[in-house]
Structure 1
Amino acid sequence: MELQEFKTKVLPLKDRLFRIAVHLLKSAEEAEDALQDVMVRLWDKRGQLKEYRSVEAFAVTVTKNRCFDKLKSKKHKYHLDVQELEVDSGFESPYKRLELSESMQVMIRSFQELPEQQRLLITLRDLEGYSYEEIAEQTGLQVNNIRVGLSRARKAAREAYLKVADYEQQ
């Protein structure tokens, strides 16, 4: 794969890969580092990319693996990017902003409690906008299994959110 082909096939994926990295790492800075590593790795493997059925699926897999490696490393310290949680509106009172911020934290915790496969399905379908067929291609699951998994994941996230929200209001 030459430079021009790399630019047309791989570089357009960087925004999607960045969103996946931010979602997994919970930090824009960490995600940028991971994405840079992924792009270097993809460039190094550019000669082998034609062997893969889907360059996009391979790039997503490389991104997820790099993020998981970062999460496993002892150097990684868990933290949330405060700028991502901030609600940017001049019409909201400080109390409303605090309430929304706390609600966002509850949603994030509820989502993190889901099994890995359910988090992945929600990320690919609801955050990334993949079709069921594209998710099936990337995960190896059947479309019906993806639909059932998404339904269960959404229900579990909703129940976890409501349980935590109810508990914190008491």
Structure 2
Amino acid sequence: AIALKYLKNTQMAEDAVQHVFVKLWESTSDIHIEINLKNYLYTMTKNYILNQIRDRKDEISLNYINAQIDIPGQEDVIKAMDDKQMRNLLYQGVESLPPQKKEICLRKLETTDSNQQIAEKMGISINTVKSHYQESIKMLRLYFDQIKI
């Protein structure tokens, strides 16, 4: 049970237990067990497994590194997909805003216009742009909370 707990692989666990029993069998004349045999086997198995993990650590690390190299750009693709999905959700939220707030948000998202420039283009005061934008952000946060993002 301990072998399977640590190794999470039935074949490797069986190999570990077999190795421990062979080791015990080979050294029965040299070993004087003064404690419970079950505890002794448990300790032997645990030590063997930990040694195996330590010895294979470099091999596993190398396999992990190679696996990352084998799939070039995987993280970039996943990130791009996540970014696109988030952008789509954002635009869906913006679509649900009242018309003036929606227009201000779209201008902030799609242009590099300052609040002053947006105010001039829309014919409203800069304070109106600021307050509508702040209210829009609050509304979008509520929207994202509702859709559990």
Tell which structure's C-alpha radius of gyration is larger: 2
Choose between structure 1 and 2 for higher RCO, CA contacts under 8 A separated by at least 6 residues: 1
* TM-score (normalised: structure 1): 0.38
Structure whose residues are more often helix by fraction: 2
